[in-house]
């Protein structure tokens, strides 16, 4: 991930329905699509009982552009219809960070 500051994080938390057909392909496709967006910095994902995906962006404008990407809009619609029981999106400004590595 590029080390640009300040930057933004989109926290997407969700719980899935039973109808997860096509979900994995979609997730992969959306990740590839996001990578091509202007201002994209990175993405991290984990899922067990709930799913958490955090994507990182250079600006609020980049996040807005990504939300309005036509292919992404289509997938958001399909997500509401099929894959998700609920989701929550939080747009956040990263104020500080630190890390540890062995």
Min. distance of Cβ 18 from a copy of itself in angstroms? Answer: 12
Min. distance of Cβ 50 from a copy of itself in angstroms? Answer: 6
Rg (CA), the chain: 14
Task: Give kind and range of the element (H or E) at residue 56.
Answer: strand 51-57
Please, which residue, 25 or 97, has the CB nearer to a copy of itself? 97
In the chain, the N- to C-terminal Cα span, in Å, equals 19
Collapse the DSSP code of 50 into the 3-class scheme (helix H, G, I; strand E, B; otherwise coil) and give the result. Answer: coil
Place of tokens 């994080």: 9
Q: Does 19 participate in binding a copy of itself (rule CB under 8 A)?
A: no
Binding mask 50-79 for a copy of itself (x = CB under 8 A): xxx-x-----x-------------------
Min. distance of Cβ 7 from a copy of itself in angstroms? Answer: 9
Q: Which residues 6+ apart lie within 8 Å of 16 measured at CB?
A: 23, 51, 83, 84, 85
Residue numbers of the site for a copy of itself (CB under 8 A)?
A: 9, 11, 13, 17, 44-52, 54, 60, 80, 84-102
């Amino acid at each position: 991930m590029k080390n640009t500051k300040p930057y933004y994080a989109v926290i997407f938390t969700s719980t899935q329905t039973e109808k997860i057909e096509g979900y994995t392909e979609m997730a992969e496709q959306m990740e590839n699509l996001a990578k091509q967006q202007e201002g994209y910095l990175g993405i991290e994902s984990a899922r067990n009982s709930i799913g958490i995906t955090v994507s990182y962006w250079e600006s609020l404008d980049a996040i807005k552009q990504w939300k309005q990407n036509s292919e992404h809009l289509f997938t958001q619609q399909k997500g509401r219809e099929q894959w998700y029981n609920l989701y929550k999106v939080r747009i956040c400004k990263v104020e500080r960070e630190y890390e540890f590595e062995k």
